[in-house]
Protein backbone atom coordinates (compact mmCIF):
# COMPACT_ATOMS: atom_id res chain seq x y z
CA UNK A 1 0.00 0.00 0.00
CA UNK A 2 1.57 3.35 -1.03
CA UNK A 3 2.33 5.83 1.73
CA UNK A 4 0.92 8.63 -0.43
CA UNK A 5 -1.77 8.79 -3.09
CA UNK A 6 -2.38 11.57 -5.59
CA UNK A 7 -6.15 11.99 -5.87
CA UNK A 8 -7.16 13.53 -9.20
CA UNK A 9 -10.61 14.61 -10.37
CA UNK A 10 -10.91 14.93 -14.16
CA UNK A 11 -13.78 17.25 -15.06
CA UNK A 12 -15.78 16.27 -18.16
CA UNK A 13 -13.09 13.95 -19.61
CA UNK A 14 -15.50 12.80 -22.33
CA UNK A 15 -16.33 16.33 -23.53
CA UNK A 16 -13.30 18.46 -22.64
CA UNK A 17 -10.52 16.43 -24.23
CA UNK A 18 -9.06 17.67 -27.49
CA UNK A 19 -5.45 17.53 -28.71
CA UNK A 20 -4.82 14.33 -26.74
CA UNK A 21 -4.97 16.16 -23.43
CA UNK A 22 -6.01 12.92 -21.72
CA UNK A 23 -2.30 12.18 -21.94
CA UNK A 24 -1.79 14.60 -19.07
CA UNK A 25 -3.54 12.18 -16.74
CA UNK A 26 -1.46 9.28 -18.04
CA UNK A 27 1.71 11.29 -17.40
CA UNK A 28 0.75 12.01 -13.80
CA UNK A 29 -0.17 8.36 -13.20
CA UNK A 30 3.17 7.16 -14.58
CA UNK A 31 5.22 9.67 -12.56
CA UNK A 32 3.42 8.48 -9.45
CA UNK A 33 3.73 4.78 -10.25
CA UNK A 34 7.45 4.94 -10.91
CA UNK A 35 7.92 6.49 -7.48
CA UNK A 36 5.63 4.14 -5.58
CA UNK A 37 3.03 6.86 -5.09
CA UNK A 38 -0.61 5.84 -5.42
CA UNK A 39 -2.83 7.40 -8.05
CA UNK A 40 -6.62 7.64 -7.85
CA UNK A 41 -8.51 9.13 -10.79
CA UNK A 42 -12.18 10.13 -10.54
CA UNK A 43 -14.25 11.43 -13.45
CA UNK A 44 -16.95 14.06 -12.90
CA UNK A 45 -19.34 14.70 -15.75
CA UNK A 46 -22.48 16.68 -16.41
CA UNK A 47 -24.69 16.80 -13.33
CA UNK A 48 -22.11 15.22 -11.02
CA UNK A 49 -21.40 17.03 -7.77
CA UNK A 50 -17.82 16.99 -6.48
CA UNK A 51 -16.33 16.84 -3.01
CA UNK A 52 -13.76 19.62 -2.50
CA UNK A 53 -11.99 17.57 0.19
CA UNK A 54 -11.74 14.35 -1.80
CA UNK A 55 -9.14 15.36 -4.41
CA UNK A 56 -5.70 16.96 -4.49
CA UNK A 57 -5.86 18.09 -8.13
CA UNK A 58 -8.81 19.06 -10.31
CA UNK A 59 -8.25 18.99 -14.06
CA UNK A 60 -10.29 20.72 -16.77
CA UNK A 61 -9.24 20.32 -20.40
CA UNK A 62 -10.38 21.96 -23.60
CA UNK A 63 -13.27 21.24 -25.93
CA UNK A 64 -15.17 22.45 -28.93
CA UNK A 65 -17.40 25.52 -28.41
CA UNK A 66 -20.60 23.47 -28.19
CA UNK A 67 -19.20 21.08 -25.60
CA UNK A 68 -17.57 23.92 -23.71
CA UNK A 69 -20.90 25.73 -23.45
CA UNK A 70 -22.56 22.63 -22.02
CA UNK A 71 -19.84 22.22 -19.44
CA UNK A 72 -19.75 25.92 -18.57
CA UNK A 73 -23.32 25.99 -17.32
CA UNK A 74 -22.90 22.72 -15.47
CA UNK A 75 -19.76 24.05 -13.78
CA UNK A 76 -21.70 27.04 -12.53
CA UNK A 77 -24.72 25.02 -11.46
CA UNK A 78 -23.09 22.02 -9.78
CA UNK A 79 -19.35 22.51 -9.24
CA UNK A 80 -18.44 26.17 -8.76
CA UNK A 81 -18.74 26.33 -4.98
CA UNK A 82 -16.84 23.07 -4.52
CA UNK A 83 -13.99 24.23 -6.76
CA UNK A 84 -13.73 27.50 -4.86
CA UNK A 85 -13.58 25.53 -1.62
CA UNK A 86 -10.96 23.17 -3.04
CA UNK A 87 -8.75 26.02 -4.24
CA UNK A 88 -9.23 27.75 -0.91
CA UNK A 89 -7.74 24.81 0.96
CA UNK A 90 -4.80 24.56 -1.45
CA UNK A 91 -5.84 21.91 -3.97
CA UNK A 92 -4.50 22.36 -7.50
CA UNK A 93 -7.04 23.45 -10.09
CA UNK A 94 -5.55 23.17 -13.58
CA UNK A 95 -7.39 24.46 -16.64
CA UNK A 96 -5.99 23.94 -20.13
CA UNK A 97 -7.14 25.70 -23.32
CA UNK A 98 -10.93 25.92 -22.92
CA UNK A 99 -10.32 25.19 -19.26
CA UNK A 100 -8.55 28.49 -18.63
CA UNK A 101 -11.47 30.33 -20.21
CA UNK A 102 -13.96 28.68 -17.86
CA UNK A 103 -11.87 29.45 -14.78
CA UNK A 104 -12.46 33.15 -15.33
CA UNK A 105 -15.49 35.42 -15.34
CA UNK A 106 -16.89 34.72 -18.80
CA UNK A 107 -16.20 33.92 -22.44
CA UNK A 108 -17.89 36.11 -25.04
CA UNK A 109 -18.89 34.21 -28.19
CA UNK A 110 -20.35 36.94 -30.37
CA UNK A 111 -23.67 37.90 -28.76
CA UNK A 112 -23.52 35.04 -26.27
CA UNK A 113 -21.77 35.24 -22.90
CA UNK A 114 -20.65 31.86 -21.59
CA UNK A 115 -20.32 32.00 -17.78
CA UNK A 116 -17.15 31.09 -15.94
CA UNK A 117 -16.71 30.08 -12.32
CA UNK A 118 -14.69 33.14 -11.25
CA UNK A 119 -11.72 31.38 -9.68
CA UNK A 120 -9.50 33.96 -11.38
CA UNK A 121 -10.09 37.46 -12.69
CA UNK A 122 -9.96 37.09 -16.44
CA UNK A 123 -12.27 37.33 -19.40
CA UNK A 124 -12.09 35.92 -22.90
CA UNK A 125 -13.55 37.30 -26.11
CA UNK A 126 -13.62 35.38 -29.38
CA UNK A 127 -11.87 37.28 -32.16
CA UNK A 128 -14.40 39.17 -34.26
CA UNK A 129 -12.70 38.18 -37.52
CA UNK A 130 -12.53 34.53 -36.50
CA UNK A 131 -8.74 34.32 -36.62
CA UNK A 132 -7.06 31.82 -34.33
CA UNK A 133 -3.75 31.93 -32.48
CA UNK A 134 -2.08 28.73 -33.62
CA UNK A 135 1.38 27.26 -33.35
CA UNK A 136 4.14 25.93 -31.17
CA UNK A 137 4.78 28.08 -28.13
CA UNK A 138 7.28 28.40 -25.33
CA UNK A 139 7.01 30.47 -22.17
CA UNK A 140 9.30 31.23 -19.24
CA UNK A 141 7.79 30.59 -15.81
CA UNK A 142 8.87 30.95 -12.20
CA UNK A 143 7.22 28.74 -9.60
CA UNK A 144 7.67 28.35 -5.86
CA UNK A 145 10.08 25.60 -4.88
CA UNK A 146 12.09 25.68 -8.11
CA UNK A 147 15.63 26.99 -8.45
CA UNK A 148 15.02 29.70 -10.99
CA UNK A 149 12.93 30.15 -14.14
CA UNK A 150 11.96 27.19 -16.35
CA UNK A 151 10.60 26.84 -19.87
CA UNK A 152 7.21 25.33 -20.66
CA UNK A 153 6.76 24.27 -24.28
CA UNK A 154 3.58 23.21 -26.01
CA UNK A 155 1.06 23.99 -28.73
CA UNK A 156 -1.69 26.61 -28.84
CA UNK A 157 -4.80 26.82 -30.98
CA UNK A 158 -7.46 29.20 -29.71
CA UNK A 159 -9.82 31.75 -31.16
CA UNK A 160 -10.34 33.48 -27.83
CA UNK A 161 -8.38 36.48 -26.63
CA UNK A 162 -7.90 36.31 -22.87
CA UNK A 163 -7.27 39.40 -20.75
CA UNK A 164 -6.15 39.17 -17.12
CA UNK A 165 -7.52 41.48 -14.45
CA UNK A 166 -5.17 44.03 -12.91
CA UNK A 167 -4.48 41.90 -9.85
CA UNK A 168 -3.76 38.64 -11.66
CA UNK A 169 -0.37 37.11 -12.44
CA UNK A 170 0.30 35.35 -15.75
CA UNK A 171 1.70 31.86 -15.67
CA UNK A 172 4.61 32.97 -17.78
CA UNK A 173 6.23 35.31 -20.25
CA UNK A 174 5.98 34.40 -23.93
CA UNK A 175 9.31 33.50 -25.51
CA UNK A 176 7.84 32.28 -28.80
CA UNK A 177 4.23 32.09 -29.88
CA UNK A 178 1.11 34.14 -29.19
CA UNK A 179 0.07 33.64 -25.57
CA UNK A 180 -3.20 34.85 -24.10
CA UNK A 181 -4.03 37.46 -26.70
CA UNK A 182 -1.14 37.77 -29.16
CA UNK A 183 -0.21 41.22 -27.84
CA UNK A 184 0.48 41.34 -24.11
CA UNK A 185 3.42 38.93 -24.04
CA UNK A 186 1.72 36.99 -21.25
CA UNK A 187 0.55 33.39 -21.22
CA UNK A 188 -1.85 31.71 -18.83
CA UNK A 189 -2.70 32.66 -15.28
CA UNK A 190 -1.34 31.65 -11.88
CA UNK A 191 -3.37 32.48 -8.79
CA UNK A 192 -2.40 30.55 -5.68
CA UNK A 193 -2.93 26.91 -6.63
CA UNK A 194 -5.14 27.77 -9.61
CA UNK A 195 -3.34 27.53 -12.94
CA UNK A 196 -4.64 28.12 -16.44
CA UNK A 197 -2.78 27.84 -19.74
CA UNK A 198 -3.39 27.50 -23.46
CA UNK A 199 -0.46 25.09 -23.85
CA UNK A 200 -1.46 21.57 -24.76
CA UNK A 201 -0.77 18.84 -27.25
CA UNK A 202 -0.61 17.43 -24.45
CA UNK A 203 1.29 19.65 -22.02
CA UNK A 204 2.72 17.36 -19.33
CA UNK A 205 4.48 14.72 -21.46
CA UNK A 206 6.39 17.60 -23.07
CA UNK A 207 7.27 19.10 -19.68
CA UNK A 208 8.06 16.40 -17.11
CA UNK A 209 9.43 18.97 -14.68
CA UNK A 210 6.04 20.69 -14.60
CA UNK A 211 4.22 17.40 -14.07
CA UNK A 212 6.47 16.82 -11.06
CA UNK A 213 5.86 20.32 -9.75
CA UNK A 214 2.10 19.76 -9.93
CA UNK A 215 2.46 16.36 -8.30
CA UNK A 216 4.59 17.69 -5.44
CA UNK A 217 2.46 20.78 -4.87
CA UNK A 218 -0.75 18.76 -4.84
CA UNK A 219 0.75 16.40 -2.25
CA UNK A 220 2.12 19.27 -0.16
CA UNK A 221 5.79 18.33 -0.52
CA UNK A 222 8.82 20.11 -1.99
CA UNK A 223 9.48 19.33 -5.68
CA UNK A 224 13.08 18.37 -4.91
CA UNK A 225 11.89 15.80 -2.37
CA UNK A 226 10.47 13.58 -5.12
CA UNK A 227 12.61 10.57 -5.99
CA UNK A 228 14.61 11.28 -9.18
CA UNK A 229 13.73 9.36 -12.32
CA UNK A 230 15.57 8.45 -15.51
CA UNK A 231 14.08 11.15 -17.70
CA UNK A 232 16.13 10.70 -20.86
CA UNK A 233 13.04 10.24 -23.03
CA UNK A 234 11.12 12.99 -21.24
CA UNK A 235 14.05 15.39 -21.63
CA UNK A 236 14.24 14.56 -25.33
CA UNK A 237 10.50 15.27 -25.72
CA UNK A 238 10.93 18.61 -23.96
CA UNK A 239 13.92 19.53 -26.14
CA UNK A 240 11.95 18.61 -29.25
CA UNK A 241 9.01 20.80 -28.16
CA UNK A 242 11.38 23.69 -27.53
CA UNK A 243 13.00 23.30 -30.93
CA UNK A 244 9.59 23.26 -32.59
CA UNK A 245 8.82 26.56 -30.89
CA UNK A 246 12.21 28.01 -31.82
CA UNK A 247 13.64 28.22 -28.30
CA distance 148 to 61: 28
Nearest to 79 by CA among 47, 108, 114: 47
The DSSP secondary structure of 52-121, one letter per residue, reads: TTS-SEEEE----HHHHHHHHHHIIIIIHHHHHHHHHTT-EEEEETHHHHHHSSEEEETTEEEE---SSS
- The ranges of the chain with pLDDT < 50 are none
pTM of the model: 0.96
What residue ranges do the domains of the chain occupy?
Answer: 5-245
pLDDT, position 128: 86
pLDDT, position 217: 97
CA distance 39 to 123: 33
pLDDT in tens, 130-181: 899 999 999 999 999 999 999 999 999 999 999 999 999 999 999 999 999 9
Q: Which fold has domain 5-245?
A: Rossmann fold (3.40.50)
The residues annotated as belonging to the active site are 97, 200
Amino acid sequence: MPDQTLRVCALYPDLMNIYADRGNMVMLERRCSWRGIGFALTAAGLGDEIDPEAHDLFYLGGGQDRDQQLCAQDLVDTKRDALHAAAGRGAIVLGICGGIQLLGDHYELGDERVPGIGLVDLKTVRAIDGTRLIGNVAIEVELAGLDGPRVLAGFENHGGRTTLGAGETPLGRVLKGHGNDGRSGFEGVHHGTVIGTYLHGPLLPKNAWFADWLLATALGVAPDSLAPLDDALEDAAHASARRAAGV
